[in-house]
Every structure is written in C-alpha cells, then in structure tokens.
Structure 1
C-alpha cells in the first residue's frame, strides 16, 4: 500500500473452508445488533490469522456471496439448464460445507406448517433438473417408513374453518332467497285472486 492502492487478497480454498467453518461455529457473534457483525468478522479473521490482510467488511462480503451462491444452487429456477457451464449443487466445492453451516436455518429451510384446508400435498414437478439438489421432504420426520408392512390409514381430512363459514353463509343466503321467492309467489297469487274478484 506504499503507492496508496489497497492490495486485494486472493482467498485460498483453505481460507474459504476456514471462513465457512468459523462462521458456523461463531454464529452467536452475529446477533443482528449494531456493530455485532463487524466484531464477529474481526474475531474470525483474528482466528484465521488474516487480521490486517482482510477487512471485516470484505470477509462479510465473501460470506454474503457464498450464501447467495448456495441459495441459488439449492433451489435453481425451473427450466434452467447448465448448457453454459454454470455450477450446480453437485459440482460447487463449497455446497456441502455451506449446507452444514446454514442449511438448517429457518430462512433456508422453513419449519413445516400443516395445511388444514386440503388433505394432500400437491404433486412434485417432474421437470426438475437432474443437477439440482434432490427434493427434500416438506417436514422433518415426514418420510414414510419403507419397511412398514401395510400403508397407513388415510387421515381424516380437516376442513378449513373459513371455508366452512363461507359455505354456511352461502347456504343461509340461498335459503333466505328461496323464502323471499316463496313469499313473492304467495303475494302474487293473492293479488291475482283479488283482481279476479273485482
């Protein structure tokens, strides 16, 4: 930096692997509080022996780029191929380490929510790319035991309470309309009889 230009540090594979592992084990340092991230990256860089060589902001940027690539490869857009030589989850060297580090986070793998409105889950698209990550079950523990002798009995489908309420309201409205039509019919019949007697 004698001539005023900052030298750019070239990350080695060992550095990147160390960065991922240390970021995972020191996750508590990144609490989201003001300046926590910078302090967390300083601690990690110190442990890696890169203090003064890499800035905390640069380490943070490297981490964000790794996360972005991981997320893109984990859920590639449908219909995208790899004809242009793009990386896939299978061949990106940091995928398994990143999956260990952040794959279980709720922002990456949201918790399973049980839908009460419909009984079955929608079918999985057959057009998924063979280079994409294999499909995961929607919920932990949702896998069927392949050794079970008989299939599980079908679960009783629970109906959505909002849907039931709307159906009841529609039925009441139809009944009101029918009563109103009957009343109008009786009134017309009565008026016809009065007119006939005149």
Structure 2
C-alpha cells in the first residue's frame, strides 16, 4: 500500500508534463529574424555577464517582439548561437571549400551585428524584473516517467523523516536514467544555476568574438601598412637604380672631359711653340726693315722682291697675331 501511494503521488504531481512539448521550436519569419538580430546587437548592454543577465535580456527581446509565449529565453539564446555559427562557417570556410557568403540572406546583417555597426538600429530595451516572469514561456524540461517500485522504496528510506520531496526519473536519448528531486524550490534554483553557467559561456564566447574581430581589424591595418612599406621600398629601389645609372653617365662624361683636357693641353703647347716662332720671325723682319735704304737701291729689282716678301710676311705675322688673340 505504501508503494501504491507514492506511485499515485508521482502521477498527480506531473502537472508540467503536457503543458509544453519538449521538441517544440517556433520557426521565425524572415522579418522576425532580421528584427531579432537588430535587437540583439542594439541591446548588447543588457548582456553584462552578471547573474541571470542573459536570461532577462532575451526575455526582454522576446517580449518586445511578441514571442514571449512562443519561445523561451533558452531557445532564443540557442537561435543566436546558431546564427553566429552559420556566419562563421561562411566567413571562414575550411580549406578547399568555396561557398559564396551572399547565398545567405542574413550574412551582411550578421556581419554588421558582430562588428557593432547596428547600434541604434532597433529600440533600446530594459530587462524585465522577476515580477513579470509569468508573462514568459518557461524553459522546456524532459517528460517525467514512472519510476520502478524498488527505487521509490529506496528513496523513501533515504528521505524518511524529512519534508515531502518528489522523486522522478527522466531519460535521455541513450536510455540513461537520472533521479531528479523537486521540492523546496530546487527546480527553479537548479534551472537558474544551469542557465547562469550557459550565460557565462555565451558572454565569454561573445567577448572572444569581439576580441577576434578587433584582432582581425588590427591585422588588416598592419597588412595595409606593410603593403605601403613594400611600395615605398620598391620606389626607393627604383630611385637608387636611377641614381646609379646617372652616376655611371657622369663618370663616363668625366673621363671624356679628361681626354679632351689632355688634347687641349697638347694644342696649347703647339700654339705656344708657333707663337715663339712668330715672335722670332717678327724680330727678324724688324731687323730687315731697318737696313739702310742704300742697300735697297743697290739691289734694284731684288729689293722690290724683298719688299713684296716683307709685305707678305707682315700680313702673315698680322694673321698669326689675330689667331693668337682669338686663342
């Protein structure tokens, strides 16, 4: 009889079994998904990393969209993680995989959201308090099923003399069984504790995504600076090659000028020698012109010839002097 009473207690207290289907998931429309992403990006301040902050933030977003009775905060958080996963798969595909990001209609919107370019694109919300918790869809829990009589008897022996505690068994897909104890507010506390851990992981993941995006931007800036340095280096190399060519040309011109200088020195020596010879000839002509006129009369026709010769020599001497003055 004692076993029968506990079995009846298990069935009468399973009031949550049929209220929410475990596998129910609301499928958003395209407009709702876009609004969902904009609200998440514009209200990033609500996801502060504090205890239960993510739960209340998702609840505020769902209430603003009017989906608080169709989705739970856990399903909303899972939806956001799936969107980020899809974006990363398209943004950074594995090696050998070529997939165009534009094939997904949310790619550009998610890119703006994860790079903080959607701030102010949606209303700024405030997180609801604990008093409005009844407006939201509770988190789905696995169905409870009837426990064997021997395990119930063992549980009765363990909790004898204590407050009334409900003992149920929940099975997963692999058929494993786990005993859940509900009583004195344990269900709510455990759910909040589990979600708090998930909240911490989501915030850590979001921070890592931000740091990764910042690192990519810094890397892009460094790559651009490196490319500019490479271009400057190539320009310097071209200028250096031009200077080397000009230097070679100057060296050749200098060698040519040295050769011309040697030639000019030789020509100067020749002109100097000619000038000396002309000076001697001029002196000789001067001596010839001062001889007595008598000698000229005696010579007769020979004097006339000498005078002509003298005139020619004077003209030649005059031309040499002009040539020397020009040099």
Question: Normalized against structure 2, the TM-score is what?
Answer: 0.33
- What is the alpha-carbon root mean square deviation over aligned residues? 3.2
Take 1:89 and 1:78, find their aligned partners in 2: how far apart are those partners?
15
In the alignment, is residue 54 of structure 1 matched against residue 71 of structure 2?
yes
In structure 2, the partner of 1:69 is: 86
Cα shift at 1:55: 0.8
C-alpha displacement of 1:36:
0.8
- Listed as ranges, the matches of 1:187-198 within 5 Å are none
What residue in structure 2 maps to residue 140 of structure 1?
221
Deviation, 1:10, is 1.6
Task: Give the structure with the higher percent helix.
Answer: 2
Equivalent of residue 92 in structure 1, options 93, 96, 104: 104
Give 5+ residue unaligned stretches, structure 1.
Answer: 83-87, 113-135, 155-198
Q: What's the TM-score, normalizing by structure 1? A: 0.53
Matched, 1:29 2:46: yes
In the other structure, the counterpart of 2:210 is 106
Structure 1 match to 2:132: none
CA contact (8 A) 1:89 1:95 kept: yes
Task: Specify the structure having the higher radius of gyration (Cα).
Answer: 2
Alignment check: 8 A CA contact 1:137 1:143 kept: no
1:11 aligns with 2:28: yes
- How far apart, in 1, do the equivalents of 2:49 and 2:32 lie? 24
SS state at 2:25 partner: coil
Partner residue, 1:151: 231
Q: Equivalents in 1 of 2:25, 2:57: separation in Å? A: 21
How many positions carry a matched residue from both structures? 123
Q: Contact 1:41–1:59 at 8 Å: present in 2 too?
A: yes
Q: State the 4+ residue runs in structure 1 displaced beyond 4 angstroms.
A: none
Alpha-carbon distance in structure 2 between the residues aligned to 1:47 and 1:78: 41
Mapped to 2, the partners of 1:24 and 1:96 lie a distance apart of 13
Shift of 1:137: 8.3
Unaligned runs of 5+ in 2: 1-15, 117-208, 235-327
